[in-house]
Every structure is written in structure tokens, then in C-alpha cells.
Amino acid sequence: MGATNHTANYDLPQWIGTDKPTFLGDLNDAFLKIDTGMKTNQSEISGATSDAGNALAKATSAEQAVNTLTPLVNTASENASQALTTANNAASTANTANTNANAANTRLNTFDWSASTSLTKPAGTPWDSLEVYYSHNSGLYLLNLYGVIIGSFNNVDNQISNNSVLFTLPSSFPAPAKTREIYGGILIYATVNGTPLLLPGILKINTDRTCVGECNVTQEKWYFCYIQILVNTSSWY
């Protein structure tokens, strides 16, 4: 007879003393179950080994990828830091440029010429007329004077004396630190040895803004005096 009992998992025969097993009926069937189970286990173990191998390969590949990406990430971080530094430097440069532009704009606003001002004769002078005009550009440090002073053609007492004050500049003009002499700043008409001549003269601008006319060629009085100057006064103060 066959086995009275069987195993729980693979249903293999378990005999008791009264059982009478047979090789063909009992053992062949048991060995077949064992062989089938072992083969199944072997296949599953092989599959698990293969899966483990694939997982290891993937882990190795992931590790290699991480190792490859790490320097790239570090480089990207360095590049980002450099880009931030460059951006900060650019912002600083832009701020400096803006400050300079504002300063230049402020400076540019001072480049306008003052209104042309008519100067007056000094008190007590007997000249026939004085038509001299003044303007000043504080931004460019330029002084402009032009016009004519007519003493007299007929009355010597009314003619212009050498080394006399011709006019005074407005108080808005910065007074020079010392007397400034502008050679050729005036052109006078006077007599030299009985001959009337046009002669170059010197315009002296004093620290009190008075302007004196001088001609070293003659000490005779002048019939009239032309004034025409445009000078840079940046070193006067």
C-alpha cells in the first residue's frame, strides 16, 4: 500500500510501520516531486542572481554617473559664483558710470553763458561813451569782453589816459588771485610823434575786478579804445 502520511509542502510520502510502499508507485512519484521542486528553486535562484547582477550593474552605473556629475556640479557652482561676482562687478561699474554721468550732467548745466551785461564808465570819467559788454562761462572758465570806449576826437581833456581804469567787472565774476595781464586785449587809437596810429595794448584785470588799459608804445592820450577778448581763466583763482 502507499504512504499513510505526506509532507505539508511537497506532498512527499511518509510511511508508518504497517505501510507497504512500492518503488514504482511511491518513490518515483516522490523523487519526481523533489526533482521538480529543486529545478524550480534552481531557476528562481538563477533569476534572483541575474536580477541581483542587473541591480549591481545599475548601482555601479549610477555611481559612475554620480562621479561624472560631481565635478560638473562643482564646475557649475564655480561658474555660478563667478557669474555672480561678474554681475556684482558690472552693477558696481554701472553705478559708478551713473554717478559720473550725473556729475557730468551737473557740470554740463554750468556750461551756459551768463547773460551779456553792459558795463558802465567809472565815476568821473569825461569820455564821450563806453559800450563794453561782459559775459562769463563758469563751467568752461571763459571770460568774454567786447566793445569800444570813445574818449574824444576833438577835446584832449576828454580823451582816455594811459594806465587808467576802463571799467570794473561784475561781482559775479570770480576775482583773480593776482593781477592778470592780457597782451593785445585792447586796440587803441593814439598819436605817436604826431602820427595817429592803431596800437595794441594790455588789458590788466586786478584782484578787485578793476580793468586797466596800458600802452607801452606811447604815453599820449587815446582817442578811442577797442576791447575784444575771450580768455580761459581756469588758472586765475
- What are the residue ranges spanned by the domains of the chain? 24-108, 117-232
Q: In this model, does residue 216 exceed pLDDT 60?
A: yes
Q: In this model, does residue 157 exceed pLDDT 90?
A: yes
Using one digit for the tens of pLDDT, what is the confidence trace for 75-127?
877 887 887 888 788 788 878 878 887 776 666 566 788 999 999 999 999 99
pLDDT computed for residue 93 by the predictor: 85
Q: In this model, does residue 219 exceed pLDDT 80?
A: yes
Q: In this model, does residue 149 exceed pLDDT 80?
A: yes
**Whether the Cβ atoms of residue 214 and residue 201 lie closer than 8 Å to each other:** yes
The 10 Å Cβ neighbour count of residue 224 is: 20
Where are the alpha helices (H) located in 110-163, listed in sequence order? none
d(CA 56, CA 213): 106
d(CA 36, CA 162): 141
Helix (H/G/I), strand (E/B), else coil: 150:
strand
Using one digit for the tens of pLDDT, what is the confidence trace for 192-207?
888 999 999 999 999 9
What number does CATH give the domain 117-232? 2.60.40.2460
d(CA 231, CA 145): 9
pTM tops 0.85: no
**How far is C-alpha 47 from the geometric centre of its chain's CA atoms?**
69
pLDDT computed for residue 217 by the predictor: 87
